[in-house]
Amino acid sequence: MNEKIDTAIIGAGHAGLTMSYCLSQRGLEHVVLERGRVGERWISERWDSFHFQFPNSTIELPGYKYQTADPDGFVPGREIVRFIQEYADSIKAPVRCGVNVIALENLANSMPYLLRTNAGAIEARKCGYCHRIARKRCHSTVQFRCAERHPPAAFERIPQCR
């Protein structure tokens, strides 16, 4: 039997965690699936010498601002990793690390999305992704924009893969 959940978010980077924050603020059931660790792309796909491209004073996620003594400086990538991981902890994001989404299928029943993962199948009424989830592997999926001005049921659907 497949696990059933209202919303599945694919990716535990800053965008996926922001979605999680917004859903949690509204008391909506969800899970964040991450193939590696929280902030994995910052950990494994950046040069060691990489620095964030905007001043420290601009680093902020909903409900969480980067604390620094140098607001005009440029934080190294490893600090962004720490910031993202601390954010996930502070918002108590329901992240499942090590869960790789292999396929995303649209179903015809009441749970329209089937996520096939290395940890088993998950059926979700809504599915959002926040990075390049296998653009080569899927025909259609949706992303959810989450902003304070949207009521809980008004998440916008945006076609992603064609």
Q: What pLDDT sits at residue 160?
A: 35
Fold of 3-44+77-159: FAD/NAD(P)-binding domain (3.50.50)
Question: What is the pTM for the complete model shown?
Answer: 0.78
Whether the pLDDT of residue 135 is over 50: the answer is no
Q: Answer yes or no: is pLDDT of 144 > 70.
A: no
DSSP readout, 116-128? EETTEEEEEEEEE
Minimum mean pLDDT range among 29-33, 40-44, 50-54, 141-145: 141-145
Measure the CA–CA gap between 125 and 152, rounded to whole angstroms. 14
Report phi then psi at 36, rounded to 5: -120, -120
Residue 18 has which token pair? Answer: 């922001």
**Tokens 């940890």 belong to which residue?**
119
Alpha helix ranges (H) inside the chain: 14-25, 40-44, 77-90
